[in-house]
Amino acid sequence: MESLKYMASLRGLRCAVCATLPSLIVLLTPAFPRSRLALHLGSVLCSLLSGTALADDLPEVSVYAPRESVTDALTMVYDRTALTAEGDGSLQDYLVRQPGISADANGYLSLRGMGAGYTQVLVNGQQISALDGDVMLDGISMEMVERVEIVRGASAADSGAGIAGTIRIVTRQATGAVERKVNMRSGFSPRGAFQHQLALAAGARSEQLEWQLNASVTHTEKKSDVLSHDSQYMVGGQSFSNSYSAQKGQLRSSQAMLSGEVAVRPTRQDRLGLSWTAEVLPEQRRTDGHFLFLYEAPAYDYLYAYRARWRARENASAAWSVMPVLRWDHQLPGGGLLQAELGSKQTGSKQGYAYESLEGNFLGASYEDSIQRQRDYHTAIQWVQPWSSTSRMTLGSQLRTERSGTTYFEGDDSFSEKLRRHTAAAFAQWNWSPSAMWSVETGLRHERIALTPPAETELGRRTQNLWLPSLNIGYSPNAQQRWHMQLAKTYRAPIFEDLTDYVREREGNFTQPDLGGNPSLRNETAVGLELGFSQALLRDNRNAGQFKANLFARNISNGLTKELTPYTNYGQERWKLTTVNRGKTRIWGLETGVRYDLAALPLSLRTDLTLTQSRVADQAAPARLMGQSPAVLDLGFDARTQGAGMLPDRFGATLRLEAGYKSRVNPEMWGRVKPLATLHLHSLWKLDHGVRLRAQLSGLGNDWRTTYYPAVTDPNVVSQTMQVSVKRFWSATIMLEKDF
């Protein structure tokens, strides 16, 4: 009997090794061949054939077990029940209410208040976040989402990116309960801004075939109102100058999204699924600006006034993206699992930008068109095998090929740039539970990144090898208490748009600067430490809430950040926004939260506090990161009334208070950001069986106000200030949802 067990174990090991070996051979190949797609296909095909050949040796498994994320103190999982239990109509509305997740003036999400770019956003494992945020989240309806995972740590099996953490979004898969529903959502803001959405979900299950389809169409019009004031004071108060700028922007977009999965089960041990996410997003952006410059010299009784008006238009004609993923899952004896994946991400857009002066000949006129196409291919193989009842080993490898091509047209001139990046990764992760109280996860990930910049930059091909170790230790002395510690190294690669050696002209002013590229950017790396504690709160020996606290620290090298600097273009003084590598940056902070259910009322109170500090080495004070508030406090409640009278079945509110701070925008300028308060209200009515009404008010609060203090270079000027105010528009949203 022991010999039979030993042979079965060897057979399972041989199955996994045969399936993983082709990808490992590819990974260790020193040179990247030209035809990367053929290499990806060959790797996965060898894995599929080797696993299928041994399928007859496996025992039958009647229930398929999909891969589950490890839920511990570092990971918060919001499943389908939690996502649809409140009054939120969109995923973004739901996420901005969660502790530790904030949104800036543009709506881009970030964790722990670290600012845009430090948070990785993944949709079905595909990275959609950029240094400025993301594009796709705004149109994702709740019907498209299976679960959301907020990961504050890192592991070898995950991507090595994500300095602050990772937001993983998993769209509806073919497994699980069948849902068929349709909903209509409409939101309005003051001054005519709106968003209308129609979403549909349908699916079916059989013994060997299952499918799920989700679709949505969204039409949005957003408005922005930006005011700025620039003042200079001369020595002795003899003269001064003031300039006022007002910009009103309008963004119109129509977004169509389609996601779903079709899966077959050829055997009880195998599942082959094809999932996809597709988006079409035409946009029209219009900005109208007014400028007034006043120069007054009281000593000479002199006043000079200059007025200007301009208009900028930007069109994105049918920008699109398609992300198909083919995935095979094969169960191994002893509870093991073998997974192989082949995916692609295709994006393209045609954009046109036109700027014209309407009065005063201010900055003249400019016209620019661009065509962009990006193609990504990736393969991944992962083998999970329990060694015993207390330990589990995970091995895997991944390959990714990214190609980007952009052509710019300006008048009769054209300019093209092409970029390529190849990433090969291999990882090993070991999970061990020596006792019921202790759990240990240790891993090592290696990534080899080769970047080929445009030939005209003369930088040559750059290759970097990254070793990313991770260690996660958990201790639970009882069922109500948990301690955790994690130490991990992560990195962040610059996006292609920031690596192009080209300046895209916009208005060129302080609030709408030109966009510049930087081909010499390097990858950002960070070493992170997490120390945390959670305690269940009991009442009458029943769980009534939870208290949690988490200390975190990041030591960042070559930090990627946006820098706003003045420059001269054809004799004109303009502003340019460029991504640069900063020196060493240290970030540390504390997260605490309490949730408690009242006994007398069906009411749950919650409060969350995030304290964050940062310092950029070799930078004059204030050296804090821009976009990082030192303190963010959330106060809220959730109530359940069971639909008594006219009251909603569920409703709640969240008040977010963000402290003001000082930060250095670039070496020549620092800014003072005013405090911010935001209120969100949400409610849910269950009108009938399968019919629900959701309503919410979001964005109630004051405007963003920032005062900038540029360095004074004129010896006659003693001070200069630039005040910028971004007016926010609260929105009221109502959504009707029906199952069918």
Q: Are 213 and 252 in contact (CB under 8 A)?
A: no
State which of 30-39, 168-177, 272-281, 653-662 shows the largest mean pLDDT. 653-662
Predicted confidence at residue 328, as pLDDT, reads 94
Confidence class for position 361, pLDDT limits 50, 70, 90: low
**Can you read off the two tokens belonging to residue 220?**
């949005």
The Cβ of residue 210 has, within 10 Å, a number of other Cβ atoms equal to 21
The Cβ of residue 545 has, within 10 Å, a number of other Cβ atoms equal to 17
Q: Is the pTM of this model over 0.75?
A: yes
Bridge partner list, 276: 260, 324
Kindly list the domain boundaries of the chain, sorted by start residue: 2-460+470-739
Q: Which residue has the higher pLDDT, 645 or 461?
A: 461
d(CA 261, CA 309): 51
Q: What angle do CA 351, 357, 361 make, to 5 degrees?
A: 140
Q: Are 25 and 346 in contact (CB under 8 A)?
A: no
Q: Which residue type is seen at 272?
A: L
Predicted confidence at residue 238, as pLDDT, reads 63
> Tens of pLDDT along 575-605?
888 888 887 889 999 999 999 999 888 899 9
Bridge partner list, 671: 663, 708
Q: Is the pLDDT confidence value at 454 over 60?
A: yes
Q: Is the pLDDT confidence value at 68 over 60?
A: no
**Can you read off the two tokens belonging to residue 255?**
């977004």
Predicted confidence at residue 118, as pLDDT, reads 75
**Can you read off the two tokens belonging to residue 34?**
């030209």
Confidence class for position 331, pLDDT limits 50, 70, 90: very high
Q: Which residue has the higher pLDDT, 509 or 540?
A: 540
Q: Which residue has the higher pLDDT, 162 or 490?
A: 490
What 3 state SS string does 229-288 have? Answer: EEEEEEHHHCCEEEEEEEEEEEEEEEEEEEEEEEEECCCCCEEEEEEEEEEEEEEEEEEE
Q: Is the pLDDT confidence value at 225 over 50?
A: yes
> Tens of pLDDT along 705-717?
888 888 777 666 6
157: helix, strand or coil: coil
Predicted confidence at residue 623, as pLDDT, reads 87
Give counts: helices (H), strands (E), the chain: 5, 39
Least confident of 43-57, 236-250, 424-438, 550-564: 43-57
Predicted confidence at residue 15, as pLDDT, reads 42
Q: Which residue type is seen at 731?
A: S
Least confident of 26-35, 181-190, 436-445, 556-565: 26-35
Please state whether beta strands 119-123 and 165-171 pair in parallel, antiparallel, or not at all (unpaired): parallel
State which of 349-358, 484-493, 558-567 shows the largest mean pLDDT. 484-493
For the chain, how far is it from start to end, CA to CA, in angstroms?
Answer: 54
Q: List b or e across 217-249, with b for residues whose CB sees 16 or more CB atoms inside 10 angstroms.
A: bbebebbbebbbebebbbeeeebebebbbbbbb
Least confident of 41-50, 59-68, 422-431: 59-68
> For 473-490, what is the mean pLDDT?
91
Q: Is the pLDDT confidence value at 313 over 70?
A: yes
Q: Are 409 and 394 in contact (CB under 8 A)?
A: no
Place of tokens 């699916």: 203
Predicted confidence at residue 32, as pLDDT, reads 36
| Short-list 523, 517, 504, 624, CA closest to 579 | 517
User: Which of left, alpha, beta for 147 (phi over 0: left; psi -120 to 50: alpha)?
Assistant: beta
Write down the mean pLDDT value for the chain. Answer: 78
Q: What angle do CA 647, 199, 283 make, to 5 degrees?
A: 115
User: Which of left, alpha, beta for 127 (phi over 0: left; psi -120 to 50: alpha)?
Assistant: beta
| Short-list 605, 659, 660, CA closest to 635 | 605
Which residues, in sequence order, are CB contacts of 563 under 8 Å at separation 6+? 577, 578, 579, 580, 665, 666
575: enclosing H helix or E strand: strand 572-581
| Short-list 241, 210, 378, 392, CA closest to 304 | 241
> For 122-145, what is the mean pLDDT?
64
- DSSP E strands in 617-730: the ranges are 631-640, 650-658, 661-666, 669-673, 676-688, 691-701, 704-710, 717-727
Supply the CATH classification number for the domain 2-460+470-739.
2.40.170.20
| Short-list 638, 629, 625, CA closest to 610 | 629
At 31, phi and psi to the nearest 5? -110, 145
Residues 352/357/358/361 CA torsion (nearest 10 deg): -170
Q: Are 532 and 551 in contact (CB under 8 A)?
A: yes
